[in-house]
Structure 1
Amino acid sequence: MVAFVATFGGLLFGYDTGVINGAVDPMKSDLGLTAVTEGFVVSILIFGAALGAAVGGKLADRYGRKHNILMLAVIFIVGTIGCALAPVWPVLALFRFVLGLAVGGASATVPVYLAEVAPTEKRGSLVTRNEVMIVTGQFAAFVVNAVIMNVWGQHESVWRYMLVVAVLPAIALLIGMLRMPESPRWLSSQDRDGEALAVLKQVRSPERAEAEMAEVHALVREERQAQTGGWSDLAVPWIRRLVVIGAVLGIFQQLTGINSIMYYGTQLLKDSGFSSNGAIIANTANGLFSVLGVTVGIMLINKINRRTMLIGGFTLISVFHVLVGASAMFLPDSMPAKPYIILVFVVAFVFSMQGTLGPLVWLMLSEMFPLKIRSFAMGLSVFVLWMANAGVTFGFPPAMAAVGIAPTFFVFAVIGVLGIVFVATMVPETRGKTLEEFEDEIRLQHS
């Protein structure tokens, strides 16, 4: 129940990033957007998310994970209603930025909250449910857009209906989180051990709760002697190494090009040879296989080592990038099956990505960092991830226009190969260890 409620933050993350795909055309005519203001309105959410991730981590450390998620639910509600009622595009842009703050804050806080509440053996599947909800939110946005456009497409303000739907899961998140417990690890770090033990007894057997509480308490006491979590901790070599690994993992996740498909999938399929209507329908396959991929990933994530799964994911992604590029380059445009072949390889890439790197990177970011800077380091890594997302979002359309589908996807393939090298040489294994065991192990290795 804790995982179900908290991951409504992920659902909102997915819906608010995916809904613009179908809303932007009617929005352009209703608000008189130019190419420049359209790009500004679409992209400002990403910059808001980058800031929200950086600030959200710090706020979660200071005031608590639950408190942060409740605040984010309110911001989601305000941002959604503000966007839906915006009379002119600057107001829309302002509330898109507000929504971005909530999206980024949720992306940094929800995985940490789930990792700290979940028992070790279920941590992988529970934390990665957030990724399921993100891609479910994006898929829901594609479907809701299609349905609303078919029913109310003649209305100038049809895009407002698309946006306002997100207020429902935001209200559910707010009401649901009021009944959820605070993170026991955060409570212990605030010297609230009685409350922390009470929470653990809600979600563990009494014996296990006592044993786990002793372990958490010992670690918190040990870290109390060190500095409080923040920028100063990056002076410690092993902590700095983990934060750099986390940030680079986030960059590689985005440079697979997954969000170029989630934001511009319809345009890519039109460029491949589909008609406008055909591309909109075909694009829902990307949303569907995104959800299916994450579902398969969750089934595997507690059975396969993190490093093995990351290397396998990068390998599959690179292969499908090469196949997309080769199909675009070598198949003749006169061939009727060409767009469908490209669609199959794009969908296979989306499935492979969301079945491996999609959930795994978020999971590893929630597992890798020591308690005293966990939310700070998560926020920093996710800030870098969002900036990489912004780079792909801005860079993909001009790259496609300048060089076409094939070279763009060949570049993505090369980045995937670099990802394999990075994982093989730098990334530690976190599976099968408590957060405290992993922290002790890394400290000893690099002290």
Structure 2
Amino acid sequence: MSSTRTPRRRPAAPAEAPGPHHRRLGLVAVVATFGGLLFGYDTGVINGALEPMKTDLGLTPVTEGFVVSILIFGAALGAAIGGRLADRHGRRHNILLLAGIFVVGTVGCAVAPNWQVLAVFRFVLGFAVGGASTTVPVYLAEVAPAERRGSLVTRNEIMIVSGQFAAFLVNALIINLWGEHTSVWRAMLVVAVLPAIALLIGMLRLPESPRWLASRGRDADALAVLEQVRSPERATAEMAEVRALAEQERQSQTGGWFDLAVPWIRRLVLIGAILGIFQQLTGINSIMYYGTQLLQTAGFSGNGAVIANTANGLFSVLGVSVGIALINRIDRRTMLIGGFALITAFHVLVGASSLLLPDTAAKPYVILLFVVAFVFSMQGTLGPLVWLMLSEIFPLKIRSFAMGVCVFTLWLANAAVTFGFPPTVAALGIAPTFFVFAAIGVLGIIFTATQVPETRGRTLEEFEAEVRTRYS
């Protein structure tokens, strides 16, 4: 039974001083987040590749939808299984495996002779995307010091949106250079093999998570890793706490799915899963996947919509950049609630401008302005924060497993939005669709204010001790 005493906070760790460990930690963040870049590129590239792909492979509307959506289902499976593999074999080991799968999936998609083979390799690629979405944030959270964890973990989010933006730009460039060739889509897809190889080679030179090593009784290895990415005094201080928590968890009676029988763990997993669902039900991927079609519906011409849609990619990157600059200065709950409030307001404005403005030349630009503002607000708040919270709130023993469960539900919500957005807009129009998104945003505010715990300024071990007391 968990103690009911108020947990003691550990003494303040020695302040970090400049040195080689800072550069080493920066290298870890750069290499690991290539997984996020691949996540973004592989989900965004289909937008521009789809039209030539349909011509080259003779896709029907049914097979087109299948080829696009199969990656999402692969990602859901990858998120669920990837977490278990990372808990069993290590975070670094899992990222290396995923890098290899990225290479195989990318090359397989690029050389696929028909849509059936393409669908198989899109599923393989989706598995790698889902596994990366689970494992990379956990790896970064466990390597980072508490005061830099927010900015380092959320670098993965900026790499995701940068990957999507890069996909839009690469597609436009390749179409302009070789658009007359029906197989041009293969060049768009194969570009992703370059960051996949960089991830594979880079991870060979990086260390394993010190917290995972300690959980396996490899204290000497864990301390050696901490000494690479901390000052010597800081490494020793953190290692004492990591060792104590690892020993406590080795004495636990539960493991795997059985951990969900523990009330405080079950509650954290539910909170994480619902946060992931709310992140997707803001409708962000309706813009990232169908932005061009939405803008055409709003009144842009075909070519005008393609050009205007690049603004969504640009402001997605800018939003995440601003979010990362603020994330260690504002409490997580405050930033989540503020993000939901902004998102809800811009959803209402998109809907109202679509419904109430007369059909003039200015109308599509007004809608674009509010859509871009929504994208900026979403990617500056919920986008990075939800991934950060998922990497912070779970106990070490099941951190990857629990995150896998939550990201699995996140991907299913993603699939629901992906399938549901086009027919909903066709049936109801832009205004009612965005009013539905606004109502979901209000529910998100209520949920965050009443259920989501604060993690900022606490080590992973301190937070675990506190929630054991609060929710037991």
The bucket for the TM-score relative to the shorter chain is over 0.9
Query: What SS does structure 2 have at the residue aligned with 1:364?
Result: helix
Distance 2:314 2:382 in 1: 17
Q: Which residue of 2 aligns with 1:205?
A: 231
**What does residue range 27-46 of structure 1 map to in structure 2 within 5 Å?**
27-46=53-72
Task: Check conservation: 1:12, 1:170, Cα contact below 8 A.
Answer: yes
Deviation at 1:264, TM superposition (A): 0.2
What CA distance in whole angstroms lies between the structure 1 residues aligned with 2:471 and 2:432? 41
- The residue identity in structure 2 corresponding to 1:361 is V
- The normalised TM-score by structure 1 is 0.99
- TM score, norm. by length of structure 2: 0.94
Q: Which amino acid in structure 1 is aligned with residue 330 of structure 2?
A: I
Structure 2 match to 1:79:
105
Residue 227 (structure 1) shift: 3.2
Alignment of structure 1 residues 9-48 onto 2, 5 Å:
9-48=35-74
Q: 1:4-403 residue pairs with structure 2 within 5 A? A: 4-333=30-359, 335-403=360-428
Structure 1 distance, partners of 2:220, 2:465, is 25
Off by >4 Å, runs of 4+ in structure 1: none
| Structure 2 spans left out of the alignment, 5+ residues | 1-26
Q: Given residue 51 of structure 2, which amino acid in structure 1 is its aligned partner?
A: D
SS of the equivalent of 1:156 reads coil
Q: Which of residues 445, 448, 454 in structure 2 aligns to 1:429?
A: 454
Which amino acid is 2:73 matched to?
A: F
8 A contact 1:184–1:200 mirrored in 2: yes
**In the alignment, residue 104 of structure 2 is paired with which amino acid?**
V
Distance apart, 1:230 and its partner CA? 1.0
Q: Which amino acid is the alignment partner of residue 384 of structure 1?
A: T
The number of residues matched between the two structures is 446
**2:13 match:** none
- Classify the secondary structure of the residue corresponding to 1:432: coil
SS at 2:69 equivalent: helix
Q: Which amino acid in the other structure matches residue 365 of structure 2? A: Y
Distance 1:280 1:226 in 2: 55
SS at match of 1:182: coil
Give the distance between the partners of 1:233 and 1:331, measured in 2 at CA.
53
Instruction: Give the aligned residue type for 1:46.
Output: I
**Following the alignment from structure 1 to structure 2, what is the Cα–Cα distance between the partners of residues 227 and 12?**
38
Per-residue deviation at 1:382? 0.2
**Residue 464 (structure 2) pairs with residue 439 (structure 1):** yes
Question: CA contact under 8 A between 1:229 and 1:376: conserved in structure 2?
Answer: no
CA distance in 2 between counterparts of 1:240 and 1:153 reads 52
The one-letter amino acid paired with 1:134 is: I
Identity %: 81
Q: Which amino acid aligns with 2:281?
A: L
Q: Distance in 2 between matches of 1:266 and 1:126?
A: 32
1:405-416 superposed matches below 5 A: 405-416=430-441
Tell me the alpha carbon deviations over residues 211-265 of structure 1, each in whole angstroms, 9 at most, x when there is no partner: 1111011001011111353110000000000000000000000000000000000
Is the 8 Å Cα contact of residues 228 and 372 (structure 1) preserved in structure 2? no
**Counterpart amino acid of 1:393?**
T
Q: Deviations over 1:351-370 (max 9, x none)?
A: 00000000000000000000
1:250–1:381 Cα contact (<8 Å) kept:
yes
The residue identity in structure 2 corresponding to 1:92 is L
Structure 2 residue identity aligned to 1:182: E
1:380 shift after superposition: 0.3
* Aligned CA-pair RMSD: 0.5
CA contact (8 A) 1:238 1:443 kept: yes
Distance 2:338 2:202 in 1: 37
C-alpha distance in 1 between matches for 2:183 and 2:289: 21
Residues in 1 aligned to 2:365 and 2:392: alpha-carbon distance in whole angstroms: 40
Instruction: Measure how far apart 1:110 and its partner are.
Output: 0.1
- Mapped to 1, the partners of 2:123 and 2:250 lie a distance apart of 37
Q: Aligned to 2:103, what secondary structure does the other structure show?
A: helix
CA distance in 2, matches of 1:163, 1:446: 47
CA shift at 1:112, angstroms? 0.1
- Aligned-pair CA distance for 1:332: 1.5
Q: Structure 1, unaligned stretches of length 5 or more? A: none
Secondary structure of 2:426 counterpart: helix
